[in-house]
Every structure is written in structure tokens, then in C-alpha cells.
Structure 1
Amino acid sequence: MAGKRDLTTGRDAQRIQTRERVLGAAVAEFGDRGAADADLTAIAASAGVSRGTFYFHFPTKEHVLLELEQREESRIARELTEFLGTPRDLESSLSRIVELTLAIEERLGNRLFKDLLALYFSPTRPLTESWREHALIGLVVDILGRARDTGEAEIAVDPYHSAAIFLLGLYGLLSTTSGAGPLRTAVLDSYLTTTLRSLQPR
């Protein structure tokens, strides 16, 4: 019985390692050519697997982006949780979310970052979870809830709606502006100012 369990554990570990190799090769190819033009044969060759193995782990290119999105959101959630370990006001909390999101672009590069943002608005996005299951949106809901409780903000609708609107608005702005520069900085500053004003108690 122990031998069978060891064999299963070994297979699971090998499957995880293969998945990581495929993901790494796909991320590199997406970064170089963009998701739409990425060559799946080249990805499979780079990972040392067949195309069938690629499809076993990632049925579509969007599943690669979804995996990457989940990992990046988890990273942001961890860093944001650490940041919120010290009491913060609403402005600094939302500003930190913008900073952490921009850091994804630094890690992945502009092309892959844009593909990742586009996934949020894609009509063919794989339906694997609801907005309410995202770690990051849960933290934004908590931020807004605390701001409401302290009288810093007035949340007139479901906090999840307000959180989703903030994040989707941010992603939309970042997907339509390129790289660091005065224009993007001005747009993001204006967006934060408008968001904060819309949440001020009447």
C-alpha cells in the first residue's frame, strides 16, 4: 500500500513539475510575441513536451493567462495584507493597490501585462470562479468596509460592486495607457482622486 502511495506521490510531483515547465515556456513565449501570436509548438518544444501535454495542462492560451493572473493576484494579496497590517487610510490603501498592480508590468513586461489585463474583459475568459472568490477583491472589500465604518467613505451599494468597479476601472485605464510616463501618472492620479471623491460621505 505504501509503495502505491509513493508511486502516486511521485507522479503528482512529476505532473506539477511538467506543468511548471509548460507555464514557464508559455510565459516566455507570450512575453516575446504576445498571446495571440504565440507558437504552441515552440512552447511545447521549449518545455520538452508534446502539444498534447500542453493542452492537457492548459486547454487554451487563456488558461495560461488565467493561471498567471491567479498567481499575480495572490502575490498582490500577500503584499497588500502585509501593508494593511499597519492601519492605513483609504487613499493610501487604494494607492498601494495601484503601485502593486504596476509592479506586475515591471515583472512581466508591457506586452504580457496587456494580455493579462485583457483577460478581465475577454468574452471567452474561462469561467472558473466568481469575482467574490478573488483574494484581491476580498481585500478591497475589507478596505472599503473599514473606511465606511470609520466614516471615511460612504458605500451606497454592495461593497463587492464598489470593489469590482474600482479594480476593473484601474485595469481598463492601464490597458489603454502604455508604460511609465507623465500621461499615465496623470490619468491614474485623476482616477484615484475621482474614486475617493465618489466615496466621500454626502
Structure 2
Amino acid sequence: MTAQVKPTARDVQRLQTRERILGAAIAEFKRSGMADAEVHSIAAAAGVAHGTFYFHFPTKEHVLLELEQREEARVAAQFERFLAGPHELAGALAEVVALVQGIERRFGSPLFRELVALHFSPSRPASENWTDHPVIVQLVREIELSRAQGSVHPEVDPFSNAVFFLLGVYGVLSAGESADTRDGMLEKLVASALRGLEIR
């Protein structure tokens, strides 16, 4: 068993500084959008020198990338708790929709759209695999379980269906429609996904 290494006071201070910069950057992104956000404003709000920002985050996109990774981990943990209880596939799909909507509510539509744009950006690391995204892994597993139980067509490709469903959710929420229109579109998306998975 590997012994736990206790973080030094310097390590703790570095983490605290990083958290302050991240918080200040998110606030600035919400206010101005990532493209118009000024690094000197973020640094000033975090109470650090201009260069300290770049020590922790080489670019503003790296702030978004860290935020996205944290949000994905948080959503995956919430989804895992949901999946631990009794549920059907329809409920799991609806829960994914609710969790993604929760991200948008927390950060607002403009920052949410920036996160979605980054998620699908061609400049993301090429070495990424779908298994690096826990929500996709969980959704694929749910479709596989339903297929094994006979409620999903045996020829269904769980990975493709999980990805297409999530793309649809992100697309609807990024479209800029009214809340009522979006809610109706999301309900139809869940219904359509279920019809595509069902044994006819």
C-alpha cells in the first residue's frame, strides 16, 4: 500500500490560488464572455499578479477546459447516485437532460454555450477517448443493460445512441429558443430516443 503524501503548505497555497483564479475567471466569463474577458481583470479580481494566471492556466481556454472537466465529474457523480436507485431507461434519459440543464442554470446560457463549443472544438486533445467522459460511459452502460434485459433492440449500438442523444441535448440547449419551446423539444428528444431503442 502506498503511503499518503501530506501536501506541503506551499502546495495548499498553490491550490488555493488556482481556485481563486478559476472563480474569478468564471465570473469574468459570465460577465463578458470568454473572448472579451481580460486576463488582467481576472488576475486583479483573484488578487494575483498577471503572470500568475498564466502559471496556472496557459490560456483562457484552459480555464474552460478545467471547468468542463469538473462539471462533467460532478454531473457523473449525481447521475451515478440516480442510477443506484430503481429506474427505467426513460427515467435515466430524462435525468441526463435535467443534469445538463442544471449546468446551464448555474453558469448562464452564454457561458454554457462556450463550454459546449469547447467540448466539440477540433482543438481539443486528439488523444481523448469516449471512455474519458464518464456520462457517456454511464449512458452506454444503461443502454447495454436495457438491451441485455430485452427492452432494447438487440442490434442497437449503445455508444452511437448515447452520443447522438447527448448531442441532441446540447444542441437544443444551445439553440437559443424560448424555455417553453426548448422544454417541448427536449421531451420530444427523449421520446424519439426511446422509440429508436425499442424492440418493435
Instruction: Calculate the TM-score normalised by the size of structure 2.
Output: 0.89
Contact 2:73 2:134 in 1 (8 A): yes
Write the deviation string for residues 37-69 of structure 1: whole angstroms up to 9, x where unpaired: 111110011112223221221112221111111
1:97 deviation in Å? 0.5
Aligned to 2:192, what secondary structure does the other structure show? helix
- Give the letter aligned to residue 26 of structure 1: A
Between the aligned residues of both structures, percent identity stands at 49
2:21 corresponds to 1:34:
no
Aligned counterparts of 2:123 and 2:49: Cα–Cα separation in 1: 25
The reply on whether 1:71 has 2:44 as its aligned counterpart is no
Q: Contact 1:22 / 1:44 at 8 angstroms: preserved in 2? A: yes
Instruction: Give the residue type in structure 2 aligned to 1:170.
Output: V
The 5-angstrom pairing of residues 39-188 of structure 1 reads: 39-127=38-126, 129-154=128-153, 156=155, 158-178=157-177, 181-188=179-186
Deviations, residues 63-103 of structure 1 (Å, cap 9, x unaligned): 11111111111111111111111121111110011011101
Structure 1 residue 191, shift from structure 2 partner: 1.1
For 2:47 and 2:58, the matched residues in 1 are separated by: 18
Distance 1:44 1:126, change over 3 A: farther
Q: Which runs of 5+ in 1 are unaligned?
A: none
Shift of 1:169: 2.2
Q: Would the alpha carbon gap of residues 53 and 157 (structure 1) be closer, same or farther in structure 2, given more than 3 Å must change?
A: farther
Contact kept? 2:165, 2:193, Cα under 8 Å: yes
Q: State the one-letter code of the partner of 2:195.
A: R
Q: 1:25-44 CA deviation, whole Å, 9 max, x = no partner?
A: 00000011111111111001
Q: Secondary structure at the match of 2:123?
A: coil
3-state SS, counterpart of residue 84 of structure 1:
helix
Distance 2:186 2:27 in 1: 29
Specify whether residues 127 and 17 from structure 1 end up closer, same or farther in structure 2 by C-alpha distance, changes over 3 A only: farther
Structure 2 unmatched ranges of 5 or more: none
The answer to whether the Cα contact below 8 Å between 2:21 and 2:53 also exists between their aligned partners in 1 is yes
Detail structure 1 runs of 4+ shifted over 6 Å in the superposition: none
Give the AA of the match of 2:46: A
Whether contact under 8 Å (2:156, 2:197) holds in the other structure is no
Cα distance change, pair 68–161 in 1 and its aligned pair in 2 (3 A)? same
TM-score of the aligned structures, taking structure 1 as reference length: 0.88
Contact 1:118 1:175 in 2 (8 A): no
